[in-house]
Chain A
Amino acid sequence: MSIQEEEQAIIEEFSVFEDWMDKYEYIIELGKSLEIINECEKIEENLIRGCQSRVWLSSRFEDGRIFFSADSDAIITKGIIALLVRVYNGRTPKEILSSDFSFVGKIGLKENLSPTRANGLVSMINQIRNYALAYSVK
């Protein structure tokens, strides 16, 4: 699946929720299902600044593709990272850099995208882009 197809799949999954509660319960489930990050990766360098919750995002570059692992101490944030990881894991830097990350808005989490909202989603997206940018020049 391409990034666009994966995004579309998520948009469709979210379209079935009738109220916020079902949606957030699903996000919380996603948060719980996110693969557990190695404790050794929860280091200062992987910590994303500007978040009310603590968010760690690390990456490795293999055969031209980027693989992410992430964690947060807040479960909703963790659920949102799980979505981001699902879409952007195993992509090339070029694919990531040409994505506009707009699906987060389309699934009704736009309030979490506001740059003034102190929950770090914007910082997380920036960090994914930064990793892609760094690997693209390698």
Chain B
Amino acid sequence: MDVQELRHHFPILSRTVGGRNVVYFDNAATSQRPDTVDECQKTINAFHNANIHRAVHTLSAEMTDLYEMGRESARKFINAESRENIILTGGTTAGINLVANTFCPTFMKEGDEILISEGEHHSNMVPWMIQAGMHHLKISYIPVDASGHWDMETCRKRLSGGRVKMVAVAHVSNVLGIINPIEELIREAHKTGACVLIDGAQGIVHTDVDVKKLDCDFYVFSGHKIYAATGIGVLYGKKDCLESLPPWFGGGEMVDVVTYDTFTAAPLPLKFEAGTPNFVGAATLTPALEMASAMKSAEIEKNTLEMTEYLSSSLQAVEGFHLYGTGDGKVPVFSFSVEHCHHEDIAILLDKMGIEVRSGLMCAEPVIGRFGQTGLVRVSLAPYNTMEECEYFIKCQNRVLNMLS
């Protein structure tokens, strides 16, 4: 498949904004959905809609199959061992909250540490802060340098203190767009006996994830950033890790036996899937991840690489411009500031020219504050974006800066 064929699968790309074909550059927040995901949802509504795992009737059985196929697609996509490793959640945030709320009270005691990086999304900070407050735990940080890379020496020092029980870090920061050295960190953390959770919200999109090779204990991601429906996510966990955690939400399919006095939890993975899950969303993982796999063609990857290089060099040529996150392991996520220009003004004017970019704090206030900014503009690409769009953006960006100067 080439980029033009790929674009045909995303009908939204031919709509207009401000009288021009939309240039969608906010993929790190939500990616667009292909026609195959749309068809999947339509087919469910027309033929299979029924609650899963419960009834004996045909519709329920078919819907259960589609739900479980979604799980199987996720398992295959990240090369997990079995379906027991794959918990379907509401998204990355839900997955992290599940682990934080079960792991911290079970395995951590006063004075123990959770190690995160300075570049984390709020979703991988606040759940740990809540637990730290409740159980008197400490949060320590892996410093991020001016180019957006981790300071591994300080990281090793923190780990060697012996109090870190959980390491929770982004595979790729949603602001900095750098692939972090998680393999190295996972090895180092395991040497000290700490567990590792990887926030893969961005990493799942921009890298080939093999959880067996990574050897992480948990890997979480969202469906809506990888072409699936909203409100569905995946929490991968090693089997022994997941088994050692108590259930969190109660009710629905998460039980085995219930009496007036007590209950026993269902076996994995249902133990963590209380209530009626987002089964339609889960089913869309199958066509979405098929599309994501098809995007790994040499031709499409070459286009992405060329766009990344083009934007890296063109953006830095702008006067007064500062790009946050540069150097090795750059993915096409570009957060920047321009001297004397407010991020909101840039985003409003680009929108007038049909270009959708993100502006503001991007749910990562501490790291943006650390760079002395009140917000940034972020351009994040997907494989269906084109070089023409990038060139048009650079032209418009210059026009915007002229208007604002």
User: Chain A residues in contact with chain B, CB under 8 A?
Assistant: 20-21, 24-25, 28, 52-54, 73-77, 118-119
B403 touches A28 (CB 8 A): yes
Cβ proximity bits B1-34 to A, threshold 8 Å, 1 near / 0 not: 0000000000000000010000000000000000
A76 touches B352 (CB 8 A): no
| SS of B interface (majority) | helix
Q: Which residue of A lies closest to B361 (CB)?
A: A52
Residues of the A chain whose Cβ atoms lie less than 8 Å from the Cβ of B348: 24, 76, 119
- On whether A74 and B352 interact (CB within 8 A), knowing A28-B404, A52-B360, A54-B374, the answer reads no
Complexed CA–CA distance, A52 and B375 (Å): 8
> How near does chain A come to B143, taking the closest CB pair, in angstroms?
28
The yes or no answer to B61 lying at the interface (CB within 8 A) is: no
The yes or no answer to B135 lying at the interface (CB within 8 A) is: no
B344 touches A52 (CB 8 A): yes
- On whether A24 and B352 interact (CB within 8 A), knowing A53-B342, A53-B344, A119-B344, the answer reads yes
Complexed CA–CA distance, A118 and B375 (Å): 13
Cβ proximity bits B368-405 to A, threshold 8 Å, 1 near / 0 not: 00000011000000000000000000000000000110
Query: Nearest 10 pairs between A and B by C-beta?
Result: A74-B342, A74-B344, A53-B344, A20-B352, A52-B344, A52-B360, A76-B345, A74-B345, A75-B345, A76-B348
The yes or no answer to B180 lying at the interface (CB within 8 A) is: no
- Interface footprint category on B: 10 to 19
B18 touches A76 (CB 8 A): no
B349 touches A73 (CB 8 A): no
Residues of the A chain whose Cβ atoms lie less than 8 Å from the Cβ of B359: 52
20 A-B contact pairs sorted by A residue (CB < 8 Å): A20-B18, A21-B403, A24-B348, A24-B349, A24-B403, A28-B404, A52-B359, A53-B344, A53-B345, A73-B342, A74-B345, A75-B342, A76-B344, A76-B345, A76-B348, A76-B349, A77-B345, A118-B360, A119-B344, A119-B348
Complexed CA–CA distance, A74 and B404 (Å): 10
Residues of the A chain whose Cβ atoms lie less than 8 Å from the Cβ of B343: 52, 74
Complexed CA–CA distance, A74 and B342 (Å): 5
Complexed CA–CA distance, A28 and B345 (Å): 10
Residues of the B chain whose Cβ atoms lie less than 8 Å from the Cβ of A119: 344, 348
In the complex, besides A76-B344, A76-B345, 15 extra interface pairs with C-beta distance below 8 angstroms are A20-B18, A21-B352, A24-B348, A28-B345, A52-B359, A52-B360, A52-B375, A53-B342, A54-B374, A73-B342, A73-B374, A74-B344, A76-B349, A77-B344, A119-B348
> How near does chain B come to A24, taking the closest CB pair, in angstroms?
6
Most buried by A among B342, B360, B374, B375: B342
B404 touches A75 (CB 8 A): yes
Complexed CA–CA distance, A118 and B362 (Å): 13
